[in-house]
Amino acid sequence: AAVEKGNYRHFMQKEIFEQPTVVAQTLSSYLRREDVSVALPQFDFDLSAIRRLTIVACGTSYYAGLVAKYWFEKFARVPVDIDVASEFRYRDPVLEEGGLALFISQSGETADTLAALRHCKENGQIIAVVVNVPTSSMAREADLLLPTHAGPEIGVASTKAFTCQLAVLAALAAHMAVKKGRLTREEEREVVTHLLEAPAALNEALNHDDDIAAMAPLFSQTRDVLYLGRGQDYPLALEGALKLKEISYIHAEGYASGEMKHGPIALIDDDVPVVVIAPSGPLFEKTVSNMEEVRARGGKVVLISDAAGIKQAGEGCLATIEMPVVHPLIAPLVYAIPVQLLAYHVAVVKGTDVDQPRNLAKSVTVE
Ligand code: G6P
């Protein structure tokens, strides 16, 4: 049956709002409620023996991989090499026999990613695939197939596939950590409990739709927007900038907060809004001082944080968007929502073709 928009104005909007449901659906096939543990589909290699992980993807799927790199390293203590598919193959990457290569793709057909997968296969890698289309080429070639259950994604700019990818990657990182003896049974329970809280937290984030729609006109006239984040929030800054570029055609850049002083700070004036993605936590202070650098130059800051972060640093911001307090393993899923909604509403104000942005394709099957 054809997918319908229902009461939504665009597929992208519908897909943003489906996220609590499809993330719950995805998680339910990776988490066992009975004993509060992670369970993966069948595969026949030893996950505990993996010494190195190579992640390859394109576009938004690549940013999901970048977030997961933090998790694989932090929880499973596995070194991760990550690259965009179009660069990966041509740099003659070092691939040790028996390494695990992980490909992330909504469509499972992106030509660059598929070519990288085949290259890894020829070079003795075990192939894991996180994919939304279970009948796709990548799905067929996987040793370990990890489906996302986002359902068909029609909007060209990926939204629900991204958060479902993050859900699967969080489960995989946790499972790998258990297998490697880096996570105790008790810690596994704790992680699983937090993951099960993700859909409710996504719903809370979606409640800010009206506030975000109200701030969109502030962005519609600007030529550039800067997105900042640190640690696992840095890939979200990249994703936020990508979403805005894709559908509103406003130039945007994502930067690691601490790297701003090495370049983009030269762009800051009162015409360049800066979106700061910063849940409170150990890195928060540092990000706040980067925010101060922006404000001292007349820059307007939109701070996306939780209650504690906004209390501490919200004053003097152009706007703040308050997210629920969540575990770092689900924060990127939750913080993806305001970033998607902002891009969506700015595009609606500008009147662009949200679901079919110019020059872009849903699935890029040429190199
Ligand atoms: C295209 C789409 C993006 C997507 C990228 C990777 O550029 O417009 O939304 O992130 O391809 O696609 P994949 O299907 O491999 O995730």
153-208: pLDDT as tens digits: 999 999 999 999 999 999 999 999 999 999 999 999 999 999 999 999 999 999 99
* Catalytic residue set: 362
Please give the C-alpha separations between residue 138 and each of 30, 46, 117, in angstroms, as whole numbers: 20, 21, 8
254-313: pLDDT as tens digits: 999 999 999 888 889 888 999 999 999 999 999 999 999 999 898 999 999 999 999 999
Direct distance between the N- and C-terminal alpha carbons of the chain, in angstroms, rounded to an integer: 31
**Is the pLDDT at 88 greater than 90, yes or no?**
yes
26-82: pLDDT as tens digits: 999 999 999 999 999 988 899 999 999 999 999 999 999 999 999 999 999 999 999
In this prediction the pTM is 0.97
Report d(CA 128, CA 161) in Å as an integer: 17
Mutate to test the pocket of ligand 1, among 159, 169, 364 (most ligand atoms within 8 A of CB): 364
| Ligand 1 pocket, residue 61 CB under 6 Å | yes
Q: Which atom of ligand 1 is nearest to the CA of 161?
A: 16
Write down the pLDDT at residue 1. 62
| Ligand 1 pocket, residue 232 CB under 6 Å | no
Q: What is the mean pLDDT of the chain?
A: 95
| Ligand 1 pocket, residue 84 CB under 6 Å | no
